[in-house]
A = this chain, B = another copy of it.
Amino acid sequence: MNKRKVNEVEILDALPFLKSIEQAGIRELQRFGIFSLIPKNQFITMEGDSCQFFSFVLSGKIKVYKTAENGREITLYRLEKGQSCILTASCILSNKKFPAISFSEEAVEVISIPSPLFLEWIDKYDFWRNYVFNLLSERLSEIISVVEEIAFRNVDIRLAQHLIKITNVNKDEIQTTHQLIAGDIGTSREVVSRLLKDFEEEGILILSRGSIKIIDYPSLNAKSKKV
């Protein structure tokens, strides 16, 4: 991992909440924050790791997920620019082990601070405390909606929703594999393949290896809202 100190502009760009508050926070982050560059497709933490650092994502994308013995996966959430990991926070706060796997889907730049410092800042800085509490609250809602989706929603609807979510606004072609989609929506690859095939037969999209081209967005959208 590539490590160095990080400058104020980079910090403020990723963490605008720091702008509104006293300089102390930024100075402290510059002083104690450790910059790391994590290459693409690396496992960052595994299930059971202990959390020595708390990190902010400056750029890139991290997937946080659980796996089953049989290889099935379920994505809990993703971290992008300006975000940080509720499970790490929770882990440090209650001194437990990290209960999931985190993996860099894209190369990631992070600033990390040692966990004792994380705890100290919570007591010391109001803005920091607010940031962490909000982080926890928001991620919690996300995870609860994951529960809801998996428990109640049919797979075809979840699939349609997910395709919409990962479709880039100005591009109708998604680069991904059925296996990755399966992990994101918590089902098996075969089910995804079958349903995508159905969608293709309905003229909603066109499949090719490693890519899905949406050709009837309105129908896909309708599917994602089906009762």
Binding site for B on A (CB under 8 A): 66, 68-70, 72, 74, 76, 86-87, 89-91, 93-94, 96, 99-100, 122-123, 126, 129, 133-134, 136-138, 140-141, 143-148, 150-152, 186, 227
Taking the closest CB of chain B, its distance from the CB of A138, in whole angstroms, is 6
CA distance A137 to B122 in the complex (A): 15
**Beyond A72-B151, A89-B137, A91-B137, 8 extra complex contacts between A and B, CB < 8 Å:** A66-B148, A66-B151, A68-B151, A69-B227, A70-B152, A86-B140, A93-B136, A146-B147
Question: Interface of chain A, helix or strand or loop or mixed?
Answer: helix
A153's closest neighbor in chain B, by CB? B68
B122 and A123 contact, CB distance less than 8 A: no
A93 partner residues in chain B, CB cutoff 8 A: 133-134, 136-137
Known: A140-B136, A141-B99. Contact between A147 and B90, CB under 8 A? no
CA distance A11 to B74 in the complex (A): 41
